[in-house]
Structure 1
Amino acid sequence: MREITYARKIRFQFLLYSVFLFFLLEAVFRLPYFPSVQFRLADKKLHCLQTSLDLYSIPWMRLCSNQSLDLYHPEKNIRYHVSTDFKGERFTSATSGNNNRSLSSGPPEIWILGDSVALGYLVNDQESLPWALDSIFQEKKNQKIIRNLGVDALGSFGIQERLEGILEYSPPPIVAYWIYHISDFTDSYRELELQNSGRKRIFVRVSYFLSKYSAVFNALKIIYEKYKPESADNLVIPSSGSVLGADHPHRKAALSLFTFVKEKKIPLVLVFLPEPNEKYEPVVDSALVKEVRQIAIDSKIPVLDLQQPIYDFWKEGNQEIFLPKDGHPNPTLYRFIAEEIAKSMRQ
């Protein structure tokens, strides 16, 4: 009996010390000495999961509403400010937060769709593509409402679902631009798994909760990501020959989205940008981009291919167009893209 009691005492003490150590590490990792952990905790204030009483519902990521955050990414040494309105959409003008008009009336709308490139990852509100496009229309005294519907890591399935939600309270825009990015290739796998696996949906919800509130969890994620072998972010996917087979999730997701926008009478335009290589130089017509472009053309979806114009702009200007240590467009490139989009609308 004494041995059983002693064993229970040891287990209790181990549990007690483990809990104490956990809370101690939670306090330590929140100190300024761990800026990477602080960034992740702060960034989670910007990102919310769609809430539902059903744990098996698909946990789509969205921007949280009514946020105004100053963020600092220590690994990339970039400071930027992000503001969102009551709809959870990033500001596209200085008056975005004061715009309480009816969502079914007012000036014609232009929607910017996509992932972190459309959103404007790592740049200030006024440096993002939608803001730059809005400023061009303001300069021309051409009244339009530009809406930034970009969300980090949003693939084709996620864009379709986002449009379904937007259409519940907004009529179709005069035009919607999907700023295509190669990360959609892998996002399609992830989103398909979310659709088919209830266990994966629960895992994502638990992981999100821990990453939002636990410094220890974020520290472990940083260590894991640092040492796991993977290719650099936002770089061209090495490929040769055909990339998208007939049953590839990315092809199916794109075709589903194209069918959806036609049914809902959303005038979608697919925008292609050059991708950065390992030296952060623009690469035109990677195998993946060529196939997605052909899928769009075959589906009679208008294409605005800015790859060569951007390459020429980079070559002639001899200036950086991607963020250093990252690969997302910098403010100079966003402004150029906005000017090209505005030019295409006039034509």
Structure 2
Amino acid sequence: MREGPYYRKFRFHFLLYSIFLFLLLEILLRLPYFPSVQFRLEDKKLHCLVETSGNLFSIPWMRLCPNQNLDLFHPEKNIRYHVSTDIRGERLTSAVSIDDARSNAESTGRSSYKTDAPEIWILGDSVALGYLVSDQESLPWALQNELINDKKTEIVRNLGVDALGSFGIQERLEEVLKTSPPPKVAYWIYHISDFTDSYRELALQNSGTKKTLVRISYFLSKYSAIFNACKIVYEKYKPESGENLVIPSSGSVLGPDHPHRKAAISFFEFTKEKKIPLVLVFLPEPNEKYEPVVDSALVKEVRQIAIDSKIPVLDLQQSIYDYWKKNNQEIFLPKDGHPNPALYRFIASEIKKDIH
């Protein structure tokens, strides 16, 4: 049956009004009345999607964009912070980028920078990166200051990236090793989110559809206020456990074929093969009251995997718990669960003692 002129006219006007409504919502949602949407759009300026293998069949990995200098405000958590990255897309660990400092040490006023200085790498996800804290409050920056105060020459590099699991960190190291020799030591700041990230990364490895959906989701979240608003509503009302909290368990968490166990063992073997001196760092995890919990079931199993793989372990759980008890102060960010600046400084002082 042929379409009548009335139906064609109705369809045209419907399409026209839909486009108009879409554009109007895109504009309205970018106004200051919707700070959560604004935060998401600003935060996406910091994150880039890269294809490490250079083709559409590879896993699209999240990385920090190079040469960023952003002031961000997270409205739900009422936190303001500043993030800067260098030309390599690494978060700064000093007042100037490592590359600038090396090329012109006199201009930095920090003579500890040398072209042949040994490096210390901080690996991991958002905890290593320093989520929701400013550059100078992050762990790598605090560690760099500790070393400079002791007149040490090592350079600290922040290789942390949001939402990376064991396999993702391994891929990150593959990239870095293309342009840099192995470091003096690399500290992997372990985080419980790695447990769920292992499932996500395994699914990405095995599904071309999921790879495509990740690319589409990234594009929409970077440019569409409507898409971000929908994500905010969905995340607010979907039933899920608290963010960054201890995974409850009464028994074994990681079976012999668990993706997280396999990914961790693969990562440990990779670092030994590439001659990267890796140290696995354990921190206490927050409970629902944001109090530190020592030796959760997951942490105990991952620690044993590291020991069996002959990977050195720096277990700071008890020392951080004692620090929290003694000082009677918060060590996690409120409404979040990531370490706060005071805890990062304490961790940096403990890691400095481990550096030989």
Q: TM-score of the superposition, structure 1-length normalised? A: 0.97
The whole-number CA distance in structure 2 between the counterparts of 1:181 and 1:250 is 12
In 2, the alpha carbon distance for the partners of 1:112 and 1:247 equals: 28
- Per-residue CA deviation, residues 278-297 of structure 1 (Å, 9 max, x unaligned), is 00000000000000000000
Q: What does the per-residue CA deviation read over 1:174-230, in whole Å, with 9 as the maximum and x for residues that have no partner?
A: 100000000000000101111111110110001000000000100000011111101
Alignment partner of 1:262 is 2:272: yes
Greater mean deviation of Cα atoms: 3-12 or 262-271: 3-12
Aligned residues: 345
Percent of paired sites with the same residue:
78
Amino acid at match of 1:36: S
Aligned to 2:21: 21
1:276 aligns with 2:286: yes
Could you say what the CA RMSD is over the residues aligned between the two structures, in angstroms? 1.5
Corresponding letter in the other structure for 1:144:
E
Amino acid at match of 1:337: I
**Residue 99 of structure 1: aligned partner:** 101
Give the deviation of 1:35 after TM superposition.
0.2
Displacement of 1:240 = 1.5
CA contact (8 A) 2:102 2:115 kept: no
Q: Which amino acid aligns with 1:299?
A: S
Measured in 1, the distance between the counterparts of 2:103 and 2:164 equals 27
Map 1:308-347 to 2 at 5 A: 308-346=318-356
In structure 1, the residue matched to 2:131 is: 121
Q: Which whole-Å CA distance do the structure 2 matches of 1:205 and 1:101 have between them? A: 36
TM-score w.r.t. the length of structure 2 is 0.94
Partner of 2:111: none
Task: Tell me, in whole angstroms, the C-alpha distance in 2 between the residues paired with 1:101 and 1:183.
Answer: 37
Distance 2:230 2:12 in 1: 25
State the Cα distance separating 1:133 from its structure 2 match.
0.3
Q: Could you tell me which residue of structure 2 aligns to residue 81 of structure 1?
A: 82
Aligned mate of 2:306, from 296, 311, 315:
296
Instruction: Give the residue type in structure 1 aligned to 2:90.
Output: E
CA contact (8 A) 2:121 2:158 kept: yes
Paired residue for 2:107? none
Aligned position for 1:168: 178
Q: Give the distance between the partners of 2:303 and 2:230, measured in 1 at CA.
A: 39
1:10 counterpart = 2:10: yes
Q: Residue in 2 aligned with 1:191?
A: 201
Q: Which amino acid aligns with 1:250?
A: H
Read off the aligned partner of 1:335 and give its amino acid letter.
Answer: R
Partner of 2:109: none
Deviations 1:14-40 (A, max 9, x none): 111111100000000000000000000
- Cα 1:299–1:79 change in 2 (3 A) is same
1:219 aligns with 2:229: yes
Alignment-derived partner of residue 65 in structure 2: 64
**Counterpart Cα distance in 2 of 1:217 and 1:333:** 35
SS of 1:50's equivalent?
strand
For residues 344 and 3 of structure 1, what CA distance do their matches in structure 2 show? 77
Q: Distance in 2 between matches of 1:11 and 1:233?
A: 45
Gapped regions of structure 1 (runs ≥ 5): none
- 1:53: how far off? 6.0
Q: Note the alpha carbon deviations across 1:55-84, whole angstroms, 9 max, x for none.
A: 222100000000000000000000000000
Partner SS for 1:206:
helix
Distance in 2 of aligned mates of 1:191 and 1:45: 23
Q: CA deviation at 1:99?
A: 3.2
What are the within-5 Å matches in structure 2 for residues 203-242 of structure 1?
203-242=213-252
Residues 255-285 of structure 1: per-residue CA shift (max 9 Å, x gap) = 0000000000000000000000000000000
